[in-house]
Amino acid sequence: MPSTALWQACPVAPSHSLILFDLDGTLVDPAGAITGGIRAALVAHGFERPDDETLQSMVGPSLLASLTSVVGVPPDRVLDVMSTYRAGYVSTGMAQSRPYPGMAACVRALAAEGAVVAVATQKPEWLAEELLRAQGLLGLFASVHGSPRDESSTVSGKEPIIRAALDAHPGAAGNAVMVGDRRHDVEGAVANGIPCIGVAWGFAADGELDDAGAAIVVRSADELLEVLRGGL
């Protein structure tokens, strides 16, 4: 059964006209492409190899923020590391990624039932679109919202990205929900006055989503669809 901590404090409405999905860890399983790519880029530039736990914690937030704050890459070298990582990700990483079981069908069902479905990710917007296209998912979404192409000006946190998605669909924004796998998804949603459904199959540490204030945490695409339809 899904976790129901904070359900009463931040309830999910019986149905939603705008459903925002995080990308990596929520819709798509990077299958090691992100963590392995970050490790390879760091090693290529002479930095120490991070352990698996550190690398897992870097999936979700902006890469620039993770490289500087989590592994301590100096500001004057971070764009070089990012460039090496992006080159590898575009050439091989996107092909390694796979949609999580049932998520494409979940999105299709929601769209068929009249919901506006969109993506809100801290991945650069152009790269998010390329990943969705490579996975055959881009056509499912009404819009895709992410970080700027110039990653040296990456936005801080998920709040402005979610706000941009809400602004893009003003007719549906009054009844919106975020779906994500990390605490910044929850925090960005709450900052914009909407609930967040957490998914347990992503990269959150134990208890992270509940502690951040997720309305509910689900453990499968079927549970997610049921919650979004108001069945729980």
Q: Is the dihedral of CA 174, 175, 176, 177 positive or negative?
A: positive
pLDDT at residue 8, rounded to an integer: 34
pLDDT at residue 59, rounded to an integer: 84
pLDDT digits (tens, 9 = 90+) for 82-130: 999 889 988 888 888 999 999 999 999 999 999 999 999 999 999 999 9
Q: What pTM was estimated for this model as a whole?
A: 0.85
Q: How many residues does the chain have?
A: 232
Please give the structure tokens belonging to residue 125. 């917007």
Q: Give the pLDDT band (50/70/90) at residue 5.
A: very low
Architecture of the domain defined by 18-29+98-228: 3-Layer(aba) Sandwich (3.40)
Residue 222 annotated as catalytic: no
Name the catalytic one among 22, 29, 185, 210: 22
Domains 18-29+98-228 and 33-96 share a fold: no
Is residue 33 a contact partner of residue 96, using CB atoms and an 8 Å limit? yes
The type of residue at 184 is H
Q: Domain locations in the chain?
A: 18-29+98-228, 33-96
Give the count of beta carbons closer than 10 Å to the beta carbon of residue 31: 13
CATH fold of the domain at 33-96: DNA polymerase; domain 1 (1.10.150)
Please give the structure tokens belonging to residue 155. 């936005």
Q: What is the Rg, in whole angstroms, of the alpha carbon atoms belonging to the chain? A: 17
Min mean pLDDT across 22-26, 123-127, 176-180, 206-210 is at 123-127
Question: Angle at which helices 221-228 and 103-112 pack, to 10 degrees?
Answer: 20
- SS3 for 98? strand
* Distance separating alpha carbons of residues 110 and 122, to the nearest angstrom: 23
- SS3 for 99? strand
pLDDT digits (tens, 9 = 90+) for 40-85: 999 999 999 999 999 988 887 788 888 998 999 999 999 999 999 8
Long-range contacts of 35-43 (CB under 8 A, 24+ apart): 35/59, 37/85, 37/88, 37/89, 37/93, 38/63, 38/66, 38/67, 38/85, 40/84, 40/85, 40/88, 41/81, 41/82, 41/84, 41/85, 41/88, 42/71, 42/73, 42/81
The type of residue at 127 is L
DSSP 201-216: TSSPPTTHHHHHT-SE
